[in-house]
Amino acid sequence: MKVNNNIEYLVGKKAKLTSALEPFNSKIINLLDDLSKLLNNDFNNKNFPDLKALSFFCRKKNILSLKNKHEIKDSIRFGLGLLFHITPSNIPTNFAYSLIFGLVSGNSNIVKVPSKKFDEVEIICKSINHILKKKIYFKIKNMITIVRYNKNDNELTKKYSAICDARLIWGGNNTITDIKKFETKPKNIDIPFADRYSISLINSEKFLKLPEYKVKNLVKNFYNDTYAVDQNACSSPHLVLWKGKPNIKAKKKFWLYLNDLVKAKYDPPLISTIDNYSRLASDVIKNKNIHSFKSLNKSLYIVTLKKLYPNLFPEKTKWGFFYECNIDNLNNIDHVVNRSLQTMTYFGFSKKFLHVFFKKNNFYGIDRIVPLGQALNINLIWDGYDLIKILSREIEIK
């Protein structure tokens, strides 16, 4: 680790463009597999489930599976060149996934991690540095530069923006707008991962038919989608839609089971209590669409809405604050589907049914539809972007 003026180099010493590689280069896959093993064996990682998830994602078997889904036969593809990643401050491991996107698509990378220090960031960078000491990764070493500097240091952001071939910008809408003001190469590609929100859809009738152990598993999946990241991830649900008539009993059972899990496992920051109470008070005063509300504990607030309406979320919820609404007709989802809706997790509907339903309705928005428990499962198609195709170029030969 090297500190130079206002910049701290966590991995690498200087941003450097090397020759672009083909996507899913074998050495890159092996490097990621080494990282997976090192993270998985690190004794300290037992306290960081997000590191376990990262380890699982970058193992060789998973990367090869992703390769099989993205491989385009008889085409010649190489990375764009040098990528600049501006990563968010609320998800400690996000920078690592962004780096993986850049590496598997064949690119050199400058990754800006949050200025706030997270244990996870230190562990990952330490592991990468250890792996890059191997001679077999001599050329790969120059493809990875990870830096930390103050987010208000516009000169560094301006410098990196000017030399890169693409930028992956993770953050709020205002952050993205500000970064887009910096001059880039004429052919630079910007991939913005802006403010998004997500929802859950639960079939009440099928939920009530579940045996006890499956109810617990389903609620645990919902907990992992939300509380594991303090509901900060764009893919974490903020609104739960209940489809079916016997929804009162289903809702009561679901929230009580979740409450037991939250009390047993969740350790929120002190500010969450104030934030949740303030949001509820503001909603009660301003929102005329509230049917009822309840707080089962300081980290579980449920606001029941009378009906769905456009622009439901001026701000995302967090710390265990959820809206819910009953729907008799699935077409009513249209009221909350817009370009800001990223993920819908679901239970009680077949994949085939959802495929037909969404293809028929052609909603303006929603990029992911996954079962409860898979909200945080990041992929090479994210926010509607096929990252391998966008971050690589194809050479046409006729």
Tens digit of pLDDT for each residue in 119-178? Answer: 899 999 999 999 999 999 988 898 999 999 987 888 999 999 999 999 999 988 888 999
pLDDT for 42: 66
pLDDT for 362: 82
Q: Which two tokens stand for residue 133?
A: 């000491």
pLDDT at 398 over 90: no
pLDDT for 4: 54
List the one residue out of 239, 205, 244, 249 whose CA is nearest residue 329.
244
pLDDT for 147: 95
In whole angstroms, what is the distance from residue 139 CA to residue 210 CA? 53
pLDDT at 213 over 60: yes
In whole angstroms, what is the distance from residue 180 CA to residue 201 CA? 35
pLDDT for 331: 86
Tens digit of pLDDT for each residue in 328-387? Answer: 888 888 888 888 888 999 999 999 999 999 888 888 888 899 999 999 888 898 888 999
Mean pLDDT of the residues in the chain: 89
pLDDT at 246 over 70: no
Whether residue 258 contacts residue 222, with contact meaning beta carbons closer than 8 Å, is answered with yes
* Residue range(s) in the chain whose domain bears CATH number 3.40.605.10: 2-195+383-395
Tens digit of pLDDT for each residue in 189-199? Answer: 999 998 888 99
In whole angstroms, what is the distance from residue 48 CA to residue 333 CA? 35
- For the domain 197-371, what is the CATH code? 3.40.309.10
Neighbours of 354 (CB within 10 A): 15
pLDDT for 53: 87
| Across 245-261, average pLDDT | 89
pLDDT for 75: 80
* Residue range(s) in the chain whose domain bears CATH number 3.40.309.10: 197-371
Overall fold of domain 2-195+383-395: Aldehyde Dehydrogenase; Chain A, domain 1 (3.40.605)
pLDDT for 276: 87
pLDDT for 323: 92
* 81 — pLDDT class (breaks 50, 70, 90): very high
Q: Which two tokens stand for residue 38?
A: 């090192």
In percent, how much of the chain has pLDDT > 90?
A: 53
Instruction: Annotate 204-256 with DSSP letters as a single string.
Output: HHHHHTS-HHHHHHHHHHHHHHHGGGTT-STTSEEEEEEESS-HHHHHHHHHH
In percent, how much of the chain has pLDDT > 70?
A: 95
Q: Per mean pLDDT, which range of 39-53, 172-186, 217-231 is the poorest?
A: 39-53
pLDDT for 171: 81
What φ, ψ does residue 227 adopt, rounded to 5°?
-70, -25
pLDDT for 270: 82
* 52 — pLDDT class (breaks 50, 70, 90): confident
